[in-house]
């Protein structure tokens, strides 16, 4: 009889699991998996979309300085402009805003003309005649005879993170230097949330624009990050990785004119906060269902199984002894 009682209890428990818990696990688990997949796909699309917007914006913003330097190169080859080319360059620097200085060097890398932004309290006479032929990007431009971007450096004029574009022409080169604050401002405008990060990395893996200015000033090298390594290898896309215990979903795209990288990072913990909340709700519902099953089993055992077993026990004794009394 005890075996029958145990079998009935087990049957009730299995039935409750199949009828209540199993559907909850299948439906809830399937929904959570679908929600995670859709959220991940949405975040990936957003990251790539934002990175693409910034890439296009930076590409467009770099066209204007290059056009300006080409104009300066055109002026430099005409002797009639030699007397006032410095003033013209100073006006260009002041008007366009993105330059802090423009210099015209001769074929040997000697500064012959210069325009400086008004906010910089230095005199161009201090730089005229200076030999810059040993500067890395200028030496490269002189050697390759093609436009060359410098690495990030701290400008001796402004003390700010700066980049220079060197454009050779037939009798010399034009060097335009501009502050990276404009790039950082472009990055900050597209931050989706305060916990996300967007920054630019040059082709050496060093940060050139970042909401945290000190990282630009320190020229922090982030080439060890998987998303940056992929970009430096020419592979755009989505990557997941860990930075000091924080998991990120990052997108990388390449700015073709300079081979700089746009990195858009989303804190994975923040992204899936709502998913964790749903998981907690689901776990609570599942625990509640288990308590419900236990209550159901107790109820069935007390109100159905025991009476049925009692009747069956009496019938068995009646068949064996001919009486229902013990």
Q: What is the pTM of this model?
A: 0.67
> How many whole angstroms separate alpha carbon 287 and alpha carbon 58?
53
Q: Could you report the per-residue pLDDT of 231-283, keeping only the tens digit for each?
A: 999 999 999 888 888 888 899 999 987 889 999 988 877 766 665 666 676 66
Q: Where are the domains of the chain?
A: 33-60+191-267, 77-179
CA torsion, points 277, 282, 283, 285, in degrees to nearest 10?
130
Measure the CA–CA gap between 292 and 216, rounded to whole angstroms: 59
Burial 283-320 (b: 16+ CB within 10 A, else e): eeebeebeeebeebbeebbeeebeeebeeeeeeeeeee
Instruction: Give, as one character, the DSSP assignment of residue 312.
Output: H
Res 91: pLDDT: 82
Per-residue pLDDT at 195: 57
**Cα separation of 63 and 167, whole Å?**
13
User: At how many degrees (to 10) do helices 22-76 and 181-188 cross?
Assistant: 150
Domains 33-60+191-267 and 77-179 are alike in CATH topology:
yes
Identify any residues that bridge with 161 across adjacent strands, giving them in sequence order. 154
Position 324 scores a pLDDT of: 46
Helices (H), the chain: 2-16, 22-76, 85-96, 136-144, 181-188, 213-217, 226-232, 268-271, 273-300, 306-321
CATH class of 33-60+191-267: alpha beta
Tokens, residue 198: 């967007």
Q: What pLDDT score was predicted for residue 234?
A: 93
Between CA 12 and CA 9 the distance in angstroms is 5
pLDDT score for 64:
78
CA–CA–CA angle 131, 134, 138 (5° rounding): 90
What pLDDT is stored for residue 310 in this prediction? 60
Asked whether 188 and 145 are in contact (CB, 8 A), the reply is no
Alpha helix positions (H), 77-135: 85-96
d(CA 85, CA 91): 10
The reply to whether CATH 3.40.50.300 applies to domain 77-179 is no
Using alpha carbons, list the distances in angstroms from residue 209 to 6, 164, 198.
71, 15, 9
Provide the pLDDT for residue 325.
47
Q: What is the pLDDT of residue 222?
A: 93
Give me the helices (H) in 81-180, please: 85-96, 136-144
Judge whether 208 and 178 are in contact, CB under 8 Å.
Answer: no
Residues of the chain scoring pLDDT < 50:
1, 4-5, 324-326
Query: For position 1, what pLDDT does the model report?
Result: 46
Say how far apart CA 215 and CA 212 lie, in whole Å: 6
Residues recorded for the chain = 326
């Amino acid at each position: 009889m005890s075996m029958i009682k145990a079998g009935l209890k087990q049957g009730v428990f299995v039935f409750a699991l199949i009828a209540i818990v199993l559907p909850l696990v299948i439906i809830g688990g399937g929904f959570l998996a679908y929600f995670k997949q859709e959220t991940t796909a949405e975040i990936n699309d957003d990251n790539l979309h934002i990175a693409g917007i910034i890439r296009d914006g930076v590409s467009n913003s770099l066209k204007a300085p290059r056009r300006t330097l080409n104009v300066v190169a055109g002026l430099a080859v005409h002797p009639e402009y030699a007397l006032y080319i410095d003033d013209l360059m100073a006006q260009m620097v002041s008007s366009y805003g993105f330059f802090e200085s423009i210099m015209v060097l001769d074929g040997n890398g000697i500064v012959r003309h210069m325009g400086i932004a008004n906010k910089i309290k230095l005199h161009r006479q201090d730089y005229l005649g200076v030999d810059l032929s040993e500067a890395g990007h200028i030496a490269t431009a002189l050697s390759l005879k093609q436009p060359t971007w410098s690495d990030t450096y701290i400008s001796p004029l402004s003390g700010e993170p700066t980049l220079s574009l060197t454009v050779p022409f037939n009798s010399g080169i034009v060097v335009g230097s501009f502050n990276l604050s404009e790039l950082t401002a472009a990055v900050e405008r597209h931050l989706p949330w305060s916990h996300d990060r967007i920054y630019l990395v040059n082709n050496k893996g060093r940060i050139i624009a970042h909401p945290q200015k000190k990282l630009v000033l320190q020229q922090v090298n982030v080439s060890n990050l998987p998303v940056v390594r992929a970009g430096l290898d020419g592979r755009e896309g989505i990557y997941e990785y860990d930075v000091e215990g924080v998991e990120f979903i990052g997108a990388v795209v390449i700015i073709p004119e300079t081979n700089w990288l746009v990195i858009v990072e989303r804190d994975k913990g923040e992204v899936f906060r709502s998913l964790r909340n749903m998981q907690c709700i689901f776990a609570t519902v599942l625990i509640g269902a288990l308590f419900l099953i236990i209550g159901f089993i107790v109820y069935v055992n007390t109100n159905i199984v025991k009476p049925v077993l009692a009747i069956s026990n009496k019938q068995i004794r009646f068949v064996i002894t001919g009486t229902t009394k013990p």
